[in-house]
Structure 1
Amino acid sequence: MDTNKTQKLAVLIDADNAQPAIVEGLLAEIAKYGTANVKRIYGDWTSTKLRGWKEHLLQHSIQPIQQFGYTTGKNATDSAMIIDAMDLLYTHNFDGFCLVSSDSDFTKLAARIRESGLIVYGFGEQKTPDPFVAACDKFIYTEVLRSEEASVDESFNRMSTNELKQDTKLVKLVRNAIEASSDESGWAHLGQVGSYIAKQSPEFDPRNYGYKKLGELVDAIQLFEIEERSTGEGQSKAIYVKDGRK
């Protein structure tokens, strides 16, 4: 499914596993992918633990869903959120879901939504278990959102060229994407490279390395050639990349 701003999205937030400091950055990020037609947040609102969230709910029109903690530990909130997600899925009114949690309990939910042909955006901390990350079409680490909101990169310092070159997983990912997307001359459109990377690695984000755009990151690695080409339509330009070894 193409990601564009006409997508109708359901945003479901696990208040027990998400920090209120992300809310501004979270909603701004979601707006890149579509319109949040539903915004719900789940937790025990009688608890003082969620006090930090309460001031944001009215301001951002996020509907709190009360879920009492009937037992200590696990996990009435997860169950309520999963049931609501399935109800919303069966309405056929949405193009995708945004699941905000660092909890692996939502892995099967993400997979089930994708089986129905809808896109899933996951949002969670770096500690989020790999199975949940892999179950999403795209996964955004919330440390990035907090950093952007504060205009300071606290968790993702910009990596140097030497550090990027030594990141063999990153270099291999970019090389494979260029090879898969390139024409006979070895040049690949940067947009197609980005699309290929997203399919291979849902958690990939240039901001994880301290760069805002994929082109900036690829340029900083200094193992690839970059070329701007005129599209022939006014002043617009397209960026192409090539493996520097070829």
Structure 2
Amino acid sequence: MVDLLRESLSGRLAVVNGVGAGQGMSTIRAFINCGVKVAIISRSGDTHGLTETSQIRAFKCDSSDPGQIKETAKKISTEMGEPDFLINNIGKWSGGDDLENEEAFLEMLRFNTASQYNAIYAFLPFMKNKGGAIVNIGASEALRGASSVSYSASKYAIEEITKVLASRLKKYNIRVNSIKPGSVIKEDTFFNVFPFKFAEISEDKVLQPLEVAYISLFLCSKLAQSITGQSITADRGASL
């Protein structure tokens, strides 16, 4: 199964939009391990310790700005090729009381929701001709509501964007799915991408970043070629 996964991904180009020390970096490592070229998009332009090569490039961009992400999409497509996969990992958490703070509500929608939509809109012209896969990262909080109105709303919107775009983009052979992780620690405590080591993970409800990365790999691979418009909850049953 692992060989089939690698075979269907090797040589392709993935764009990872939104990279931190945890989930984003784990996703990058997982794709690189499968022979995938990776374009990293972040507001800092940092590679987070990875050495830039012809297979790994970092691009500084604030994807909440439509103009910036459009220019970055053109640059990546020119310098690295047209992408096969877009992983919308960008997002931030807010657990504060935002009922009396309109600006905080709008800022959360801009950062968590508009950033993902802008990236899809920017890369779509470069993905239409050959098809591919888009994975949007939401949150299981969208299922039950969180302490923050803005956070729950921004993540629930990702689910609707995913469903609508999956229907509209299937004519281009582009699959669109989302992942709703629960709480994820910032850094993995185990580092080998393969073989899978889920047996070593505790009963804790908190996820390792690689657990989310594995799902992204699957959704981008040919093993998931019949799956689109779906949202996968990965929270070890915390939302049940």
Normalised to the residue count of structure 2, the TM-score between the two structures is: 0.44
Structure label with greater radius of gyration: 1
Normalised to the residue count of structure 1, the TM-score between the two structures is: 0.44
Greater relative contact order structure (CA < 8 Å, 6+ sep): 2
